[in-house]
Amino acid sequence: MKILAIESSCDETAAAVVEDGRKVLSSVIASQVKEHILYGGVVPEIASRRHAEAISGVVSEALAQAQLTIDDVDAVAVTYAPGLIGALLVGVNYAKGLAYAANKPLVPVHHLRSHIAANYITHTQLEPPFLCLVVSGGHSHIIEVKGYNDFNIIGRTRDDAAGEAMDKAARAMGLDYPGGVNLDRVSKDGDPKSYKLPHPRVDGSEYDFSFSGLKTAAVNIIHNAKQKGETINVPDLGASYIEAVVNCLAENTEKAAHEFGYKKIVLAGGVSANSLLRARMSDICKRNSWELFMPELSLCGDNAAMVGAQGYYEYLAGNTASLSLNARASMPIDENDKFLSKKG
Ligand code: KG4
Ligand code: ZN
């Protein structure tokens, strides 16, 4: 089964054709990063406009690269939640128009579910159940993936997401957007023990995260140094900061895997591209004789191939939508959308 997939939840306009949830026939990404650098973050209004301009060309290119026409695909999948509402609406409306015109089923896909599904492409034998650490710009979750459409959240962030915490600290250190990527790059040669940062714990849940205190501590170090006329060693502070964030993520994930009895551990989301997180989780899994699955780097960030992968499993579960489908800015991964109605 071939699915044409569309993604526009944040600042990448993407389209892909994926066969049987695992094989990528084409994948096209038009990134808006350069447009947002000037503002230090994603400007929602600009994102929506750029999606509207790019989407038609990106979808045509994905079909052309797969050497297919819309008549050759079996369904149209689209990210409909969560994300920037104006950005999501561009993809959702385009997908609705395409599904209607070509008389194809319309498959709505949850953005975090698709991040997890990126692993089905990289690891074609991977099947649930497994434990997944999902870390993106907007979310940080430890999730039991019991089935392709069956999720149980064990831990979550109480404030900033891991990616958001990386981006904000990076900005305070004078690095360009997207901060997490640049922080990773400049911190490679830094000394992670050079700056003392807190190890935040959350009362009441040993699996939840809290990153805002950590971020404030980094910002205070920068401000104090400025007031004293001292300079910050950005690679050292960056390395110390990444170490602190990764410690929290890795520690809670290891604890959850022991407690819930998982031996298959999966990483997902933009922050899963982080080199220290990948290395630390590899060490932990080796030490415990657990299997570790991570998306290839090109599939960690937002793309449409992962939407096509999850779309396949949503389609198999009967999760198609009518043309009344709407985008949603927020939606828990374990919710089965009540507004979703069958096609027809
Ligand atoms: O999943 P994603 O592409 O978009 C969302 O769904 O949010 O995640 C983007 C986040 C950003 O905060 C970005 O800075 C972070 O992932 N990120 C990284 C790295 N690559 C992307 N953070 C740390 N190290 C990286 N190498
Ligand atoms: Zn994402």
> Is there an atom of ligand 1 within 6 Å of 184 CB?
yes
Q: Which residues of the chain have pLDDT under 50?
A: 342-344
- Looking at the fold, whether 277 and 162 belong to one and the same domain comes out as yes
- Looking at the fold, whether 36 and 112 belong to one and the same domain comes out as yes
- Looking at the fold, whether 73 and 209 belong to one and the same domain comes out as no
pLDDT tens digits for range 306-319: 999 999 999 999 99
- Looking at the fold, whether 191 and 253 belong to one and the same domain comes out as yes
Pairing of strands 291-293, 264-268: parallel
Q: How many domains does the chain have?
A: 2
Between the CA of 324 and the centroid of ligand 2 the distance, in Å, is 24
> Is there an atom of ligand 1 within 6 Å of 307 CB?
no
Between the CA of 328 and the centroid of ligand 1 the distance, in Å, is 21
pLDDT tens digits for range 106-152: 999 999 999 999 999 999 999 999 999 999 999 999 999 999 999 99
Q: How many other C-beta atoms can be found within 10 angstroms of the C-beta atom of residue 335? A: 11
- Looking at the fold, whether 170 and 109 belong to one and the same domain comes out as no
- Looking at the fold, whether 263 and 325 belong to one and the same domain comes out as no
Residue 182: per-residue pLDDT: 96
Residue 204: per-residue pLDDT: 86
Between the CA of 163 and the centroid of ligand 1 the distance, in Å, is 5
Residue 344: per-residue pLDDT: 39
- The domain that holds 189 is classified in CATH as 3.30.420.40
CA torsion 185→190→193→194, rounded to 10°?
-120
- Looking at the fold, whether 270 and 180 belong to one and the same domain comes out as yes
- Looking at the fold, whether 135 and 266 belong to one and the same domain comes out as yes
Between the CA of 180 and the centroid of ligand 1 the distance, in Å, is 6
- Looking at the fold, whether 147 and 73 belong to one and the same domain comes out as no
CA-closest residue to ligand 1 atom 8 = 270
Residue 203: per-residue pLDDT: 87
- Looking at the fold, whether 304 and 322 belong to one and the same domain comes out as yes
Measured from the alpha carbon of residue 171, the closest ligand is 1
Structural domain for 148, as ranges: 125-296
Q: What is the pTM of this model?
A: 0.97
Between the CA of 271 and the centroid of ligand 1 the distance, in Å, is 4
CA-closest residue to ligand 1 atom 23 = 180
- Looking at the fold, whether 154 and 247 belong to one and the same domain comes out as yes
CA distances from 300 to 198, 246, 342 (A): 28, 16, 31
> Is there an atom of ligand 1 within 6 Å of 160 CB?
no
What per-residue string of b and e applies to 140-161 under the rule 16 or more CB within 10 Å gives b? Answer: bbbbbbeebbebebbbbbbbbb
Measure CA of the first residue to CA of the last residue in the chain; give whole Å.
20
- Looking at the fold, whether 102 and 43 belong to one and the same domain comes out as yes
> Is there an atom of ligand 1 within 6 Å of 256 CB?
no
Residue 340: per-residue pLDDT: 54
